[in-house]
Amino acid sequence: MFATTPPAPYYAVIFTSLRTDNNDGYGDAATRMVELAAGQPGFLGVESARGVDGLGITVSYWASEEAIAHWKRDAEHTLARERGRKDWYAAYETRVAKVERAYSFRKADAA
Amino acid sequence: MFATTPPAPYYAVIFTSLRTDNNDGYGDAATRMVELAAGQPGFLGVESARGVDGLGITVSYWASEEAIAHWKRDAEHTLARERGRKDWYAAYETRVAKVERAYSFRKADAA
């Protein structure tokens, strides 16, 4: 669901992907990576969606560039990335961006 | 599908949303907004996914802050935003971010 992020500035890693049809171990690894990321210093939250056309977008939010670099070096995450390139992803784009401003809307009569 | 973006830096607008169950006019407006955005100066591309839990993520890419401001002021876009808040969206977050670096992966044996 929505990530609860602090006032800008902070960082976003936009990960856009197309999967292969190899699902072996993917679901467990995806769950584990979210769990592992959430325990990293500077992790702020994550939002994820995969559409019927197969395109997936996962945006993780981080307090700093250092937090992103630290997460990238994590040993278990590095192994998962290697497995991802070998088995799970046909293609992906990773974009690192600095969030400069943000706006929220909540419908008045929404729960 | 994937947006084909130039070398960084450029800008991303990360739009994360939950829809209401009011679909009246939504599909046509969503299609029209992508078409209209694509004709704006500084538009670089768009990636979009909505997952089974209802969370949608649309990331549009822009050459500059000015291009984003120009698109935000577009009259037809402004009307669609107002309609969106009234009818189509229960909640959303809009984050404007500067993409500082990007990495691509394409599987060697992928089409």
- Answer with the residue of higher pLDDT: B10 or A52: B10
**Domain at A71, CATH number:** 3.30.70.100
- State the average pLDDT for chain B: 95
Residue B91 lies in a domain: yes
CA distance A104 to chain B (A): 5
ipTM, interface predicted TM-score of the complex: 0.95
Residue A81 lies in a domain: yes
Residue B18 lies in a domain: no
A-chain residues near B95 (CB < 8 A): 5, 8, 12, 99, 101-102
A-chain residues near B57 (CB < 8 A): 47-49, 57, 59
Residue B61 lies in a domain: yes
Query: Has residue A111 got a pLDDT over 80?
Result: no
pLDDT tens digits along B69-108: 999 999 999 999 999 999 999 999 999 999 999 999 999 8
Residue B4 lies in a domain: no
Query: Has residue A109 got a pLDDT over 80?
Result: no
Residue A55 lies in a domain: yes
CA distance B39 to chain A (A): 23
Residue B36 lies in a domain: yes
C-alpha–C-alpha distance, residues B94 and B57, integer Å: 10
Tally of structural domains, chain B:
1
Residue B12 lies in a domain: no
User: Three-state secondary structure along A26-87?
Assistant: HHHHHHHHHHHHHCCCCEEEEEEEECCCCEEEEEEEECCHHHHHHHHHCHHHHHHHHHHHHH
Tell me what pLDDT residue A49 has.
97
Expressed as residue numbers, the domain containing A91 is: 23-99
pLDDT tens digits along B39-48: 999 999 999 9
